[in-house]
Amino acid sequence: MSSSDSILRLTIQKKGRLADGSFELLKRCGLTISHGKDKLYARVEEMPIDVLLVRDDDIPAFVADGASDIGIIGQNVYDEQRLTGDAVLPEEPEMRLGFSGCRLCIAVPKGESYDGPQWLEGKRIATSYPGITQAWLKEQGISARTVVMNGAVEIAPRMNIGEAICDIVSTGATLDANGLMPVETIYRSEAILIKSPHKLSDAKQAVFDALLKRIHGVQESREAKYIMMNAPRSAIEEITAMLPGSDAPTILNLAGDESKVAIHAVCRESVFWETLENLKRLGASAILVLNIEKMMA
């Protein structure tokens, strides 16, 4: 078997809004990648994985035709390329990754009396996402033209290229700075893991399965907390029912106090201050909530 049949190829963005999250995720999976400013390729030390560093737009097509086995991409770019037929890929990604969250919004100049999608009828919408925009317009029963721009879309109304735009919004600062206001959120995006529709060799599939397990572990441990407290023996049932997303907790006797126990549990959902206040009300004391670094079922 040649090494190309056994080394999994992962493609991620070299630099930009997805790159930091992608590198951080791989680091949390225990994978070290040495990458310099000019490096477009890196070998992972801990697992048989080669990482290719490219512009995000190229990732769906690389994965679709099998040049890369897996990739990390914004759902917006993935769906756009799927809808316009630029990359033939399954509708559902392998996994949602929870970072690089943003939305696609229709925005119009401040002061326009936008009164709903019908305002857009017959107008021109400047966007880098004609596929997603046209799909939304179709759903709304509106006919409008999309004018494709690859960047600086916010300039379009001022240049009289379009009456509206459809672009990525996160904080809204860019729209505001360009005298525009968001009027519709038509799409929500986050980073996703995608996998080639081409069958992987058994060796690559095994590496992929191991990587996926680690990513799941990272995802779970992000929210999960280890919670410890002392509590009245009589309140064990009520307290365990209150712990968010926890399996059977560990109950330990406390030396010298028959009426109390220590309760330790992994909570798989967020532990809010309110939960702690409610635990206290049931008699719990010395409550500690700790971050979990890694998890594996």
Ligand X SMILES: O=P(O)(O)OC[C@H]1O[C@H](OP(=O)(O)OP(=O)(O)O)[C@H](O)[C@@H]1O
Ligand Y SMILES: Nc1ncnc2c1ncn2[C@@H]1O[C@H](COP(=O)(O)OP(=O)(O)OP(=O)(O)O)[C@@H](O)[C@H]1O
C-alpha 168/C-alpha 132 separation (Å) is: 12
CA 289 to chain centre: 25
From candidates 77, 108, 235, 267, binder to ligand Y by CB under 6 A? 77
Residue 13 binds which entry of ligand Y, ligand X, Mg ion, none, CB below 5-8 Å type-dependent:
ligand Y
User: With CB under 5 A as the contact rule, which of the stretches 48-56, 204-212, 242-250, 288-296 interacts with Mg ion?
Assistant: 48-56
User: With CB under 6 A as the contact rule, which of the stretches 72-80, 130-138, 248-256, 285-293 interacts with ligand Y?
Assistant: 72-80
User: With CB under 6 A as the contact rule, which of the stretches 55-63, 129-137, 216-224, 243-251 interacts with ligand Y?
Assistant: 55-63
Q: Is 58 in the site for Mg ion (CB under 5 A)?
A: no
Smaller CB distance to ligand Y: residue 62 or 119? Answer: 62
Kindly report the length of the chain. Answer: 297
From candidates 22, 68, 76, 146, binder to ligand Y by CB under 6 A? 76
Smaller CB distance to ligand Y: residue 97 or 267? Answer: 97
From candidates 22, 68, 81, 100, binder to ligand Y by CB under 6 A? 100
Q: Is 57 in the site for Mg ion (CB under 5 A)?
A: yes
C-alpha 124/C-alpha 243 separation (Å) is: 52
Maximum pairwise Cα distance, the chain: 80
Q: Is 56 in the site for Mg ion (CB under 5 A)?
A: yes
Nearest to 69 by CA among 81, 58, 79, 59: 59
Q: Is 7 in the site for ligand Y (CB under 6 A)?
A: no
What phi and psi values does residue 68 have, to the nearest 5 degrees? -125, 145
Residue 39 binds which entry of Mg ion, ligand Y, ligand X, none, CB below 5-8 Å type-dependent:
none
Secondary structure (DSSP) of 108-164:
EETT----SGGGGTT-EEEES-HHHHHHHHHHHT---EEEE-SS-GGGTTTTTS-SE
Please name the helix (run of DSSP H) or strand (run of DSSP E) that holds residue 250, with its range, or none.
strand 250-254
C-alpha 137/C-alpha 282 separation (Å) is: 53
Q: What is the DSSP letter of 153?
A: G
183-198: buried (b, 16+ CB within 10 Å) or exposed (e) per residue? bbebbebbbbbbbbee
The encoded tokens of residue 243 equal: 């712990």
Smaller CB distance to ligand X: residue 122 or 151? Answer: 151
Nearest to 161 by CA among 149, 175, 176: 149
User: With CB under 6 A as the contact rule, which of the stretches 9-17, 31-39, 178-186, 247-255 interacts with ligand Y?
Assistant: 9-17
Footprint of ligand X (CB under 6 A): 17, 151, 167-174
Smaller CB distance to Mg ion: residue 56 or 184? Answer: 56
C-alpha 297/C-alpha 60 separation (Å) is: 31
Residue 76 binds which entry of ligand Y, Mg ion, ligand X, none, CB below 5-8 Å type-dependent:
ligand Y
Q: Residue 55's CB: how many other CB atoms inside 10 A? A: 10
Smaller CB distance to ligand X: residue 173 or 248? Answer: 173
Q: Is 18 in the site for ligand Y (CB under 6 A)?
A: yes
Interface contacts to Mg ion, rule CB under 5 A: 56-57
Interface contacts to ligand Y, rule CB under 6 A: 13, 16-18, 55-57, 74, 76-77, 100, 102, 168, 170, 189
